């Protein structure tokens, strides 16, 4: 997995702004996800407080390692396999990615440039692609689709 140095910088810099926003991107993300994709409601507990915190911490780790996403491969693989157990299907990753990136755009407004969007799309494509490959394409694992 690799991104350009410019993409790494754009992700890192934009995330610093997103994380400092008075609006919690993690709360907004889940609000939008559950509103736009009701299928997801069954995947989460009624009280989303813990999930919101865990998601933000996961994003922190992702951004801290964005220059070397390969180092996260074992963690992403484990996370993906847990998602399978929760009932997540491979095709649902696209909807989640769109909501995440649209959430970042909502928070940054006009500061969310096309280059920043492309950088985040590259990060999501790389991470989701690795997760899907490990959790749904494992010869010893039967896909849910």
Cα end-to-end distance, the chain, whole Å: 25
Whether 37 is in a domain gets the answer yes
CATH number for 77: 1.10.490.10
Q: Is residue 13 part of a domain?
A: yes
How far apart CA 124 and CA 37 sit, in angstroms, is 18
Exposure string over 25-37, b if 16+ CB within 10 A, otherwise e: bbbbbbebbbeee
Q: Which residue has the higher pLDDT, 24 or 145?
A: 24
Identify whether 51 is part of a domain.
yes
Share of the chain above pLDDT 90, in %: 68
Task: Report pLDDT for 49.
Answer: 94
Q: What's the pLDDT at 137?
A: 73
Both tokens assigned to 28: 């907004």
Domain count, the chain: 1
Mean pLDDT over 79-92 rounds to 88
Q: Which domain holds residue 56?
A: 5-136
> What band does 5 get if pLDDT is binned at 50, 70 and 90?
very high
101-142 confidence digits (pLDDT tens): 999 999 999 999 999 999 999 999 999 998 998 888 754 444
Q: Per the domain annotation, does 143 fall within a domain?
A: no
Measured CA to CA, the distance from residue 128 to residue 134 in angstroms comes to 10
Burial code of 123-142, b = ≥16 C-beta within 10 A, e = fewer? bbebbbebbbebbbeeeeee
141, part of any domain: no
**pTM of the full structure:** 0.88
Q: How confident is the model at residue 40 (pLDDT cuts 50, 70, 90)?
A: confident
Identify whether 142 is part of a domain.
no
pLDDT at 94: 93
- Average pLDDT of the chain is 90
């Amino acid at each position: 997995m690799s991104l350009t140095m410019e993409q790494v910088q754009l992700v890192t810099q934009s995330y610093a702004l997103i994380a400092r926003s008075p609006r919690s991107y993690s709360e907004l993300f889940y609000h939008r996800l559950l509103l736009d994709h009701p299928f997801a409601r069954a995947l989460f507990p009624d009280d989303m407080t813990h999930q919101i915190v865990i998601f933000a911490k996961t994003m922190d780790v992702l951004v801290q390692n964005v220059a070397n996403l390969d180092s996260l491969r074992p963690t992403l693989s484990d996370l993906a396999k847990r998602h399978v157990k929760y009932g997540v299907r491979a095709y649902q990753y696209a909807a989640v990615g769109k909501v995440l990136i649209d959430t970042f755009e909502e928070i940054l407004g006009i500061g969310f440039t096309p280059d920043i969007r492309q950088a985040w799309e590259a990060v999501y494509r790389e991470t989701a692609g690795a997760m899907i490959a490990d959790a749904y394409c494992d010869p010893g694992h039967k896909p849910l689709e």
